[in-house]
Structure formats: C-alpha cells, structure tokens
A and B are shown apart, each in its own frame.
Chain A
Amino acid sequence: MPSNFGVLGATVARKTVTYIAFFCLLFWVGFPVYYMLITSFMDSPELGVKPPHWIPQEPTIENYREVVIGETGQRGSYGSTTEFSRMMPALLNSTFVSVAVVLSNLLIGGMAAYGFSRFDFRLSRFAYLGILMTRVLPALSLIVPLFIILRKLKLINTLWALIFTYTIFILPLTIWILREYFDTLARDIEEMALIDGATRLQAFRLVVAPLAVPGLIAVGVMSFMEAWSEFFFALTLTNSLTYPPLLMSFRNLAQVNWNALAAATTVGVLPPVIVAFVFQRYLVRGLSEGAVKG
C-alpha cells in the first residue's frame, strides 16, 4: 500500500508543521502578555534579577491591592501615591463612558443605517460616502477646532465631551455595518407587517430589530472597545478622566513602580478582553463585514 503510506507521511508532516506554527502563534501573542502578568505578581526586587524568573518565586497580590486601594508602597515619591488613587474612579468613568457610547451609538447609528437602507432619497448616496470618508481622517488633526467647539458648549473636562465625541467618531462604522444588515434582512417580512397595518416604528421594533440583533451586538461590542481604548481625545479634552490617559501618566511618573503599573494595566484591560472573548463570534462577524463589505 505505497500510496497510503505516502498519505500517512504527508499527514504526519502536516501535523508537525501545524503544531510548530501553533507554537509560533502562542509565543507571538502570549509572550508579551505573559510577561506583563508575571510582572504584576512580583515585587520590585524580583523584577530586576538576571536571568529573569519566568515564574514568580514568591507570587504576591500586593500590587493589585495597591491599585485597588489607590496607594503604592513607595510613599512620598513624586506623587505616585496620589496618582494611583485615581485608578478606580478612572475605571468607573471608563465604564460609564463606554456604556453610554454603546447605547447612543446604537440608537443614532441604528436610525441612520435604517434610513439609508430603506429610503432612497436625494443626497443619501453622497451623505453615505461622506460618512465613510470620515473613517480615514486623522482624528489627531481635528482636536484643536474640536476643543474650541466643546469649550463653547462648556463640556471640556467632562465625561460628556468624550461620550459625544466617541459616539460620533464611531458612527460611520456603525452605519456601515448596520446598513449591510438591514439591507440583507428579509424586506418582505417587514413589508408584510406594514401591509398588515403596522406603523414603520412597530415594523422596526417588532420585525427588523430582533432580526438585526447579531449586527447590533457586533456594533455594540466594537464601540465598547473603541470607547474603552481611546487615548488622545481623553488626554486633551479631559484631565485624564478615563483609564488610558491615566495609565500613560503613571508611566510618566518620575519613579515608576513597574509592578504596580503591570497590575493596573491588567485590571484595566479585563473589561474589553472579557467582552471580546464573550462576544467573540459576533465580533469576528462584525469586523469582517464592516471591513470587507463596505
């Protein structure tokens, strides 16, 4: 059975290559993350040893305690104690902003996407293209005029400034993805509901929205991630009220407690990571549809 033998050989080779590649993936993704994790469970002296300990010898949760209660062990060193006390409020702020952005984005973006999908009227194509073009603009370049507008609205250094801005910057992507969903949803079911005497609103609420749930979840998750991660607007429009700019200001302290910084980083990435893992399926779908079908 020479041919079978050949197949077997090919299978073994294929498996070997597959697992080598799999190891590469684990290492590429896992190595930086693993190193941060072990750093967060070490104390400062252990971080400095050579060669490094790849498994903490005396694991400690002291760093996490410091982050949660808002104090670092190195009292009196260049204000790091007060900086850390801002961590938990910043996480709460980030949560509030992200949830608000998800809701307002789904509402405004959902409405617009439905409008674009169901009604063909003058300018709609132009407006749609315009919305899409905003995706490639450098957000960095809009900050000065935006600051002036928000100052007039008296929103500087409030969470509302961030909710407002993030929602609008995510809108194009939302509209893009949701319109695709609304376009493919069985339009005849909706038509039937309309013929049976439902109003547009009822038709939307009872027929379209339930069918579009996967799209809404995908978009919701993506806007959560964007809102949670955004750094530059939060830095310039507020006094580091949310997590990312605060993390940056920890890093810039004159004496960085790297272990506590690792703990703070770990705590702060849990929400987006958990959300991404839980909604993995929707996320992948939303990502590829948003990116590819536009």
Chain B
Amino acid sequence: MAAAQARKTSAQERKHWDRKWIPYVLLAPAIITIVVVILSPLVTTIYYSFSNIDLIRDRTTFIGFDNYVELFTSRLFWKAVEINLKFAAIVVVVPTLMGLFFAVLLVEDFVGRSIGRTLLILPWALPWIVIGLLWNWVVHSQFGALNGLLYSLGLIDKYIPFMADENWALVFTAMASAWRQTSFSAILLLAALQTIPEDLYDAAKVDGAGMRARFRFITIAWIRPTLTIVLLYNIVLGFLQFDAVWVMTQGGPGDATMLISVLLYRYSFINFDLGMGAAVSNVLGLITMGVGLIFVRLTYRSQATYS
C-alpha cells in the first residue's frame, strides 16, 4: 500500500518535472547556439544576396534580384557549374564503385583482412588540407610519385606536368576528393554488408542462383538504403568541396578547377563583392539542400516500405 503510494507520488512528481522546464533546459544551449551561429548568418546571407555592399563606404543598399540576374547571365558562373558537374561526376562515380569493391573485398575471409580494414580508415582520418598536399606530391611535375612510377616502369621518357593541363587538373583534384570518399563509402558499405545473414546466400544457392544473381538480388538489394545514402553524401561533397581543391590548384590552371565554391571564395574574399558572394552561396546552398531533401525523402520512403 505504502509502496504503491510512494510510487504514485514519485510518478506524479516526475511528470511534473518532465512537463515543466527540464526539456527546455536540455535543449536550450544547442538551439540557442545553433540559431546564433548558423541560422542568423544564414538569414544575413540571404539578405546580403539582395544587396549591394559597399565595404569602403560601409553602405548596404537593397537592390532586389540584381545580383542573381548578374550571376545567371555571367559566363563565369555557367562555366563554374559545368566544371562542378564534371567534378561531382567523378566524386560520385569513383568512390561509390571503388567503395563497393573494397567493401565486398573486406567481408571476404582472408589473411590481411584486418590490415585492410584498418588501412581503409586512414584516408578518412586525414584532413582535407593534407589530402590536397598528398595528391600534390602524387602529381607534381618535378618529383611527383605518379611521374616517378610511370618513369620507373618505363612508360614515359620525361615527367608530365599534370597540373598545367586543364583536364588533368580537374581529374586529379577530383581524384583527391574521391580518395577520401572511397574510404568513407567503403566503411559504410562494409558495415551494411556485415549485417547480411549468411543463410540468405545458402538459400539462394539451393535455389540455384548463380554468383551474379546472388550479388544482385541479395547483396545489392540488402545494402540499397546504404548505397543511396553513400551516393547522396558523395553528391553533396561534390558540390561542397573546397579545401582540397584550394590547396592543389586554387581554381587553376586558368579557371580549370573553378568549382562553384571556388567562385564563391573569389567573389567574397578576392573581389570583396559580398552581395555576389552571398548570391553564389545561396545557389550552392539550394543545390545541396535539394540533394539533402531527396535524401530525407528517400530514407523516409524506404523506412515506410520496411515497416
């Protein structure tokens, strides 16, 4: 009786506490700081994009859509879009395929598997800046590792200045990004592959499914949600990458590796045209938000299918 009474009181008390201020106290620091540091600059950026900002006279004038009109009619912007699409294509296709390849390898039981799994983490653990530097060494025209390798194997007579060539520069900056994303993709896909129950394969074998059929209808089907997410992460990175490209080429040679993010940097921090910079930011933000929304929709849909 007394115990039941005590239980009831404490339950009431708990309800009282729960409903009042605890949740707000728990969430306040996160929400307030996120509003100050992320949302308010976001709103400011949107406002800037409709303004002409004169830094010298410290004057901000509202000019409507002028920045966007200027942006969408400039050849530079469309060039950046085109370059960025090519860049993103490499950053999506290479890491997704290679990541799947390495993940499939590392569920296999063989001597060296744990070395492989550990080594896989390495690129992911490196800062983008370092990855840019590493790939600079790989493609350097005088002492690059790739030139050295090709020379040692007798495939070239003299070193190739890769980064002076517009196409090679774009390919190799994208490969640097792909290098780290391959690890990221493989880690995620490996984790998904490890959850496939072995008896699914056995059952399929009994039913006479060949290796290709088993790969397609069991492996791929099982990891499809993860694969979707890997794809979308890689797409987002394909549009947000800046650091590694900046270290390697700063957008060059010429404008060959001028991604949208590099264009944004040029407007904001080299030309100090903050209004145009903000407009580019918002366009870039809309692209990645769009990708993010697709991601949310796809995951919700797949959850709905499963439940």
The chain A residues found within 8 Å of chain B, CB to CB, are 14-15, 18-19, 21-22, 24-26, 28-33, 35-36, 39, 47-48, 50-52, 54, 108-109, 111-112, 114-116, 118-119, 121, 124, 127, 130-138, 140-146, 148-149, 164-165, 167-169, 171-172, 175, 194-195, 197, 199-200, 225, 228-232, 236, 243-245, 247-248, 251, 258, 261-262, 265, 268-269, 272-273, 275-277, 280, 283-285, 287-288, 291-292, 294
- Chain A proximity of B39: nearest CB distance (Å): 8
Q: Does B17 contact A (CB under 8 A)?
A: yes
**Assuming the A-B contacts A140-B281, A247-B129, are A168 and B34 also in contact, with contact meaning beta carbons closer than 8 angstroms in the complex?**
yes
Interface pairs A-B: 9 shortest CB-CB: A141-B281, A115-B26, A229-B127, A145-B41, A52-B148, A112-B30, A276-B125, A136-B292, A145-B44
Among A131, A136, A232, contact of B289 (Cβ-Cβ < 8 Å): A136
B219 CB–A CB distance under 8 Å: no
Q: Is the CB of A112 within 8 A of B143?
A: no
A137 to B296, CA, bound (A): 15
Tell whether B240 is near chain A: CB-to-CB under 8 Å: yes
Taking A29-B119, A167-B33, A276-B122 as known contacts, 12 extra A-B pairs with beta carbons closer than 8 A to each other, sorted by chain A number, are A18-B105, A28-B182, A31-B149, A140-B264, A165-B37, A168-B38, A231-B128, A232-B243, A275-B125, A277-B121, A288-B187, A292-B225
User: Is there contact, CB below 8 Å, between B236 and A136?
Assistant: yes
Q: Decide yes or no: A291 and B292 within 8 Å by CB, A142-B41, A145-B44, A247-B129 being known contacts.
A: no
The count of residues in chain B whose C-beta lies closer than 8 Å to any C-beta of chain A is: 104
Partner of B240, one of A52, A138, A280: A138
* Other-chain residue from A50, A109, A172, A262 in contact with B137 (beta carbon distance below 8 A): A262
Q: Which residues of B contact A132 (CB under 8 A)?
A: 296
Most buried by A among B10, B41, B182, B184: B41
Residues on the B chain within 8 Å of A294, using CB = 299
Taking CB atoms, residues of chain A closer than 8 Å to B7 are: 195
- Distance A278 CA – B89 CA, assembled complex (angstroms): 34
Does residue B252 face the partner (Cβ distance < 8 Å to A)? no
| Binding stretch for chain A, among B70-78, B110-118, B163-171, B201-209 | B110-118
- The interface residues of chain B lying within 8 Å CB-to-CB of A135 are 292
22 A-B pairs with C-beta separation under 8 A = A32-B138, A32-B179, A36-B134, A51-B148, A52-B148, A112-B29, A119-B26, A127-B31, A133-B289, A136-B292, A141-B277, A141-B281, A142-B41, A142-B281, A169-B37, A200-B18, A231-B127, A243-B127, A269-B126, A272-B126, A287-B184, A291-B233
CB proximity of B275 to chain A, nearest CB, Å: 10
Would you call the interface of chain B mostly helix, strand, loop, or mixed? Answer: helix
The reply on B226 being an interface residue by CB < 8 A is yes
Complex Cα spacing A21 to B101, Å = 8
Q: Does B271 belong to the interface (CB within 8 Å)?
A: no
